[in-house]
Chain A
Amino acid sequence: MEITEKMVLKTATKLSAEEIQKGKVLSVQWTPNLKYAWDNGPAIGRYLAELKNGKIIAKKCDKCHRIMIPPRMFCELCWVPTSEWVYVQDTGIVNTWVVSYVDWKAGRLDIAGGVRPFTPAVIEIDGASKGMGILHHLNEVDPWKIYRGMKVKAVWKPPEERIGAITDIKYFKPIE
């Protein structure tokens, strides 16, 4: 991470960034090498495999009858194993969304320079139970014209580019 003057000014000891950068002040840098290979298990594993096929799959609870995405091997509310796999649509409605001027590292997007703000949204998927959905991006829409309840559809990567990941869906766009 680059040390900026602004960051240094926030410290109690007044130092210039240059003093740190040029090694005039003792500093220690450590970049952690943290690597994981998370086992997905049967539910998320199949979810991702179906995304590669261009499909969205859910699991149904026999007790509360909820059709749940992301799929899970047990219903966390009824405490029973889920049984049936159910394909759901790749369409849905916007539950909540924002127009975001910052990226995930809290860096500001160059909106004035013409960069489109990010528009993350939770989309309630058609065929899944109420309140069940996917967190994804919206695109091909004016950020300020998105509305709650807007009907949207997944825009998929071409089959040869899909790898079995949530990003196999590029984004959701409005229908009509």
Chain B
Amino acid sequence: MAKRVAIIGIGTTGFRATTPDVSYRELTYEAAMKAYLDAGIEPKDVDSFVATSEDFFEGYSIADEYSPDQLGAVLKPIYTVPGDFIHSLASAYMMILSGIGPISVAQGMSKASNMLTLSEMVTFAMDPIYNRPLRESPHAVAALEMARFMYETGTTREQCARVVVKNKRNALNNPYAGHSVLIDTDYVLNSEVVSYPLTQMDISPHSDGAVVVVLAEEETAKALCDKPIWIRGIGWCSDTPGLETRNWAEAIYAQYAAEMAYKMAGIRYPRKEIDFAEINDEFSYKELQHLEAMRICKRGEAGPLTEIGGTEINGEFPVNASGGCLGVGNLYELNGGHKVLEVVRQLRGEAGKNQLKNVTTGLAQSWRGIPTTTGTVVILSN
């Protein structure tokens, strides 16, 4: 039986559309300082660090070399994962299991506002020989998926719009959220078409911010922390990348990542055994698609469940009570960090006006965004 590992500290800057007052250094420094204070440790107590960055998003080759200073990780064991924050969390978790030491740290940061040619950077992720010459918009790739998902599951644009309305409204009560607004479904449906059926309001706008998480093995966690949040299961998976061959309707990467985490956590019936979830909703339909992929909903059920309010804060299975990517902002490689942050806040009873009642187990899920087929899942309990 593997050692138990808990989140004993978490820190964030919050998330806003721009952060012209600070560089990435100060941004991570603030989150790290808060996380260490929260955990009651100093960086010298940390045995290993894992950072998250994507070179093209940061605008540096080998961007990971710029990770140590602001984490207090100079001349300490550290490496960077070019993936989602939850990949880094998995690495930090494994650092402890592998016996490197009882305390590890995972970091993620977004300076999305600094990327001036964001769309072209995402296009650059497509195959140079047989995809890029077609010069399709990355949003068209998302829309291709949305269309197939809607066709196979009977999900409607109205149901997707309900996700946007819910998440942006939830964000109103989240002081960390950068894109909260009160709108109705008509507003979403009538917003500018980007690539039909995808409209401007179906797309999460980007945000800047940082999240740092401190992990500790059981004995250390209990000694340092009153409210340790236990990692019960963690999983990650990548589908074939081909735009020609992937399954466009189902997020199979999310299914496999979730099943890996469920198995580790001993969860058989996720809808019953998990109380709430923070799910990647970079595009409105992704929340519904991911819910179904992870067996929280049956195929074609996520849309109707959303329509009757089943995923609202007071619903049967609250999803993205924080406001999700739609309300908080698309944080790129940090998306999973925000999800973990919100699950921890809920399980500690620190979610303020959005606090869910009697929650003991939550799921955080992320996706690396277009054009990827990579997903990550972590299940946490208090």
Contacts and interface: CB of A to CB of B under 8 A. Distances in A.
B56 A34 contact: yes
Interface in A33-61: 33-44
A43 B23 CA distance: 9
A30 B132 contact: yes
B244 to A, nearest CB: 17
A7 interface: no
Contact of B72 (A30, A33, A40, A76): A76
A39 B116 contact: no
Interface string B76-118: 0000000000000000000000000000000000010111110
Given A34-B56, A76-B74, A42 B22 contact: yes
A109 interface: no
A39 B21 contact: yes
A73 B25 contact: yes
B43 interface: yes
A32 interface: yes
Contact of B20 (A39, A73, A77): A39
Nearest to B75: A77
B129 interface: yes
A38 B23 contact: yes
Contacts of A38: 23, 59, 111, 114
A39 B23 contact: yes
Nearest to B117: A35
A72 interface: yes
A39 B72 contact: no
B280 to A, nearest CB: 25
A79 interface: yes
A79 B114 contact: no
B26 A41 contact: yes
A111 interface: no
A73 B120 contact: no
Interface string B58-72: 010000000011101
Interface in A3-43: 28, 30, 32-43
Contacts of B22: 39, 41-42
A76 B42 CA distance: 13
A74 interface: yes
Nearest to A26: B129
Given A34-B56, A73-B25, A73-B29, A79 B111 contact: no
B128 A28 contact: yes
A45 to B, nearest CB: 8
Nearest to A79: B72
A77 B74 contact: yes
Nearest to A75: B69
B124 interface: yes
A28 B301 CA distance: 44
A30 to B, nearest CB: 6
Contacts of A28: 128-129, 132-133
Contacts of B69: 72, 74, 76
Interface string A66-96: 0000001110110100000000000000000
Contacts of A35: 115-117
B121 interface: yes
B102 to A, nearest CB: 20
Contacts of A37: 113-114, 116
Contacts of B21: 39, 41-42
A72 B28 CA distance: 13
Contacts of A44: 23
Nearest to A41: B23
A40 B25 CA distance: 9
Contact of B43 (A33, A39, A40, A79): A79
Given A74-B70, A79-B72, A33 B120 contact: yes
Nearest to B133: A28
Contacts of B29: 73-74
A36 B115 CA distance: 5
Contacts of A43: 23, 25-26
Contacts of B132: 28, 30
A97 to B, nearest CB: 23
B121 A34 contact: yes
B137 interface: no
17 contacts: A28-B132, A28-B133, A30-B124, A30-B132, A32-B124, A33-B117, A35-B115, A36-B114, A37-B113, A39-B23, A39-B24, A41-B21, A42-B21, A44-B23, A73-B25, A74-B26, A76-B69
Interface of A: 28, 30, 32-44, 72-74, 76-77, 79
5 closest A-B pairs by beta carbon, nearest first, are A41-B23, A76-B69, A36-B59, A35-B116, A79-B72
